[in-house]
Amino acid sequence: MRKTLKLISLLISATAILALISYATILYAFPFPYEKLTNIQYSKSIYDKDHNMLRAFTNTKDQWLVPITLDEINPNLINATLAIEDKRFFKHPGVDAGAILRAIELNISNRRIISGASTITMQAVRLLNRRDRSIKNKIIEAMHAIYLDMIYTKEEILKLYLEIAPYGGNIHGVKAASMRYFKKHPKDLSLSECALLAGLPQSPSRLRPDRYPDRAKKRRGMVLEAMLKNKFIAQAEHDTAKDSPVIAGNYSFPFKAPHFTRFIKNKFKSQSNIITTLDSNTQHFAKTILREKVNQLKPYDVTNGAIVVIENKTGDVKAMVGSADFFSNEDSGQINGTLSRRCPGSTLKPFTYALAFEKGLLAPDAILNDSPIQYNGYIPLDYDKEYRGEVTAKQALIDSLNIPAVEALNKVGYNNLYYLLERLGISTLNKSPGYYGLSLTLGSCEVKLLELTNAYACLARLGTYKPTSLRGGKADAAIPKQILSQSTCYQIADILSDTKRLKAIGIHRGEKLHPKIAFKTGTSYDHKDAWTISYNPEYTIGVWLGNFSGRSSRALVGIEAATPVAVRLFDWLYTNKIAPWYTEPPVILQKKGFNNVILRDRQRPKDLVLQSPKILSPASGCEYFITNLGKENQQLSLIGNAGSDSIYWFIDGKFYGKIKPTEKLFWPMEKGPHHITCSDPFGQSSTVRIIVR
């Protein structure tokens, strides 16, 4: 007896060793296709911030193969697949020996192949690396299935199968099949639909429910019987689902936000499943109002436009409308206007004034001259070719006057504006600063709407710059940079929030009913581009209108064409909601030769009323003469009064000194016209103009 048991033990051991040797030999001769497992050619699928599909692209084999997770699938679909394909899936090691023996017996008794006994794991292996049907290849697939079962969990294998299994035509995986046949997400399928899909991989072309509903219904009945037999469903559920009609279509995949999704596809080439920052509701409304506006302007030969909406806090792009009609070949609708290079008109002026305020070269109340002037042969002209004489920097920016803007840039230096724009993400400045010169502030360069809108978002964040974010979560998180001071950006926002410009075009704003916004318009040379960039603390909106052909139109005026679109979109964003505005920050002035000085540590209490600065000497409009007594004996006394502890003096926009109210500060006079400004720590100021002869 002992000898018999020992012999049996030896035979078992020898058989096991032989099996291991055979297994290793097969794996050595026919290695497991790792590269196929790790390089599945998924369709690129792009979703909005709420995980709604915007668009999918076929893979390199022209297949719809959309990645999915098990928790995105109705459990009935998983159970139906197990019931009809591999009921012992969670018990066998990749190969079901019992099923193989039953299949051999069944095939012999019927004298033909009735069952192949392929497990879900074996089918997944075959789908990864297709081989001709033969006994040798069946053995190889079995060995590979055992190996896959060792390196993958059962859930991972099931997910793999449900992603790549064929469901008819070029449709692979349950997500693509669910959307194609039922226009539903796999989680939303009914029991009847789950059973129908589960039966398709056996013969996907012959059983396609949109073409052969009777065949599909018969196969569905077999799946439901298997589910009932394996106690996945109750009898009543079985009966209801079995009697329901087969209703399946051949639906198209979503085709939303086409410019945005194509941009995402090209930008993130290595990713197949991309959750973006896009808000579908905002995108839809922006597209609607842009199309309406373009239709209004078509009689005036305006055919296109674009819109960008950025959430300031995150930098998320909430809407990107690239054209009025993506499908319009006549108007080149497939061009993405948010990425096209266009002339920005006056939209760069706020950055010029921001630099001037930042450097202490100007203040909002500082006087600029709107008069004919020449800079080394360059003669700027105002839009209306009229001259207003002396204007404040604030009024010059509100009215978008060209000559004062050039004067401001001359003080700042065009190099500084050039480099600021680069730091703000403007990538289209492909010439040297000198090429653009002083005309840079008037829009002599080209910009992209997406980049320009994000540059304004820096102003909206009170000087903090962030790159645009396109993917959800923290995928595009970047460290913010403080590029401009809060006080400078607050002053710009305060200036650009003036509502008189809106009243001029028939838009009347009540602060309780409408969101307060800052906005700047732009009209390029020869009326080829109309712009408005608008913002508040939460959103920045960029609008461009024009023709992709470059054709001009007299209707392309920023304030008239683009501004109503931006205003309407802002109003929609704050439907039944109160819009925020900025709290006045500490004023930080950066002066030449003058360290950063915090002029106000906290916001002035609302009930504290301070006397505005008043210049006691010199008097405005006076003329002073330099005689032969010498400069040191001919200094002008600067005397001012204010309700603060200190006052600051500026000569022609440059910081000159700080003293106490009523104290004297002496200035050695220089010939020419001069603007002398006295400011208090709370941003209040007064200015006088004198002439020294």
C-alpha neighbours within 13 Å on the C-beta side of residue 488: 26
Element (H, E) at 571: helix 563-573
Q: pLDDT tens-digit profile of 579-591?
A: 999 998 765 443 3
| Tokens representing residue 239 in the block | 């009966």
pLDDT above 80 (res 282): yes
Instruction: Please give the CATH architecture assigned to the domain spanning 345-445.
Output: 3-Layer(aba) Sandwich (3.40)
- The mean per-residue pLDDT over the stretch 608-619 comes to 75
| Per-residue pLDDT at 519 | 97
Given pLDDT bands bounded at 50, 70 and 90, which one contains residue 605?
A: very low
Say which amino acid occupies 613.
Answer: P
Is the CB of residue 408 less than 8 Å from the CB of residue 353? yes
Under 8 Å between Cβ of 242 and 193: no
| String of DSSP letters for 159-197 | HHHHHH-B-STTEESHHHHHHHHHSS-GGG--HHHHHHH
pLDDT of residue 144: 87
| Region of poorest pLDDT, from 134-138, 159-163, 416-420, 481-485 | 134-138
Per-residue model confidence (pLDDT) at position 368: 92
Q: pLDDT digit string (tens) for 637-650? A: 899 888 778 888 88
Residue 104 has pLDDT above 80, yes or no: no
- Which pLDDT score is estimated for 643? 78
Q: Of the candidates 671, 672, 668, which has an alpha carbon nearest to the alpha carbon of residue 632?
A: 668
Residue type, 640: G
Share above pLDDT 90 across residues of the chain, in percent, rounded to a whole number: 64
Q: Which of 106-110, 116-120, 361-365, 522-526 has the lowest mean pLDDT?
A: 106-110
CA-based angle 373:374:380, to the nearest 5? 75
- Residues 107-123: what's their mean pLDDT? 69
CATH assignment of 257-341+446-478+503-585? 3.40.710.10
What is the token pair recorded at 300? 């005036």
Give the Cα separation of 420 and 485 in Å (integer). 13
Does residue 5 register a pLDDT over 60?
no
CA dist., res. 517 & res. 538, Å (int): 10
Q: What is the mean pLDDT of the chain?
A: 88
pLDDT of residue 586: 61
Q: Would you place residue 111 in the very low, low, confident or very high pLDDT band (cuts 50, 70, 90)? A: low
Report the 3 state secondary structure along 91-160. Answer: CCCCCCHHHHHHHHHHHHHHCCCCCCCCCHHHHHHHHHCCCCCCHHHHHHHHHHHHHHHHHCCHHHHHHH
The CATH number that domain 607-692 falls under is: 2.60.40.10
pLDDT (tens digit per residue) in 511-521: 667 899 999 99
Longest alpha-carbon distance in the chain: 137
String of DSSP letters for 527-546: G-EEEEEEE-SSEEEEEEEE
- Asked if 69 contacts 173 with a C-beta cutoff of 8 angstroms, the reply is no
> Per mean pLDDT, which range of 367-381, 540-554, 575-589 is the poorest?
575-589
- pLDDT at residue number 261: 98
Q: At what angle do helices 191-199 and 235-243 cross, to 10 degrees?
A: 70
| From 2-16, 396-410, 452-466, 512-526, the region with the lowest mean pLDDT | 2-16
Q: How far is 495 from 492, CA to CA, in rounded Å?
A: 5
Is the pLDDT confidence value at 314 over 80?
yes
**What average pLDDT does the segment 353-367 reach?**
91
Higher pLDDT, 482 or 14: 482
* pLDDT of amino acid 597: 36
b/e string for 51-75 if b means 16 or more Cβ within 10 A? eebbbbeebeeebbbbbbeeebbbe
Per the CATH hierarchy, to which homologous superfamily does domain 39-243 belong? Answer: Biosynthetic peptidoglycan transglycosylase-like (1.10.3810.10)
Per the structure block, which two tokens stand in for 155? 């859930």
Identity of residue 309: V
Q: What is the pLDDT of residue 574?
A: 95
Q: Compare 523 and 34 and report the one with higher pLDDT.
A: 523
> What is the CA angle 223-236-197, rounded to 5?
25
DSSP letter assigned to residue 562 = I
Q: What is the pLDDT of residues 405-449, one digit of tens each?
A: 999 999 999 999 999 999 999 999 999 999 999 999 999 999 999
Most confident of 5-14, 94-103, 353-362: 353-362
- One-letter-per-residue 3-state SS of 408-474: HHHHHCHHHHHHHHHHCCCCCCCCCHHHHHHHHHHCCCCEEHHHHHHHHHHHHCCCEECCCECECCC
Q: Which residues pair with 72 in a beta bridge?
A: none
Query: What's the rounded mean pLDDT across residues 103-120?
Result: 62
Helix (H), strand (E) counts: the chain:
22, 26
User: Looking at the predicted structure, is the pLDDT value of residue 467 above 90?
Assistant: yes
Question: Which pair of tokens denotes residue 185?
Answer: 């997400």
User: What is the rounded average pLDDT of the residues 660-664?
Assistant: 88
H-helix or E-strand spanning residue 310: strand 304-311
| pLDDT for position 192 | 97
The 3-class secondary structure across 331-395, one letter per residue, is CCCCCCCCCCEECCHHHHHHHHHHHHHHCCCCCCCCEEEECCCCECCECCCCCCCCCCEEEEHHH
**Of 462, 458, 448, which is closest to residue 478 (Cα–Cα)?**
458
**pLDDT of res. 86:** 94
Q: What are phi and psi of 238, to 5 degrees?
A: -60, -50
Whether 653 and 687 have beta carbons less than 8 Å apart is answered as no
Cis peptide before 433 (omega within 30 of 0): no
CA-to-CA distance for 233 and 328, rounded, in angstroms?
51
Which one-letter amino acid corresponds to residue 531? W
Token digits of residue 527: 């009326």
**pLDDT at 671 exceeding the cut of 50:** yes
* The pLDDT value given to residue 478: 80
What is the number of other CB atoms lying within 10 angstroms of the CB of residue 547?
Answer: 18
pLDDT score of 302 more than 70: yes
Q: Cα(471)–Cα(542) distance, rounded to whole angstroms?
A: 20
Give the pLDDT band (50/70/90) at residue 462: very high
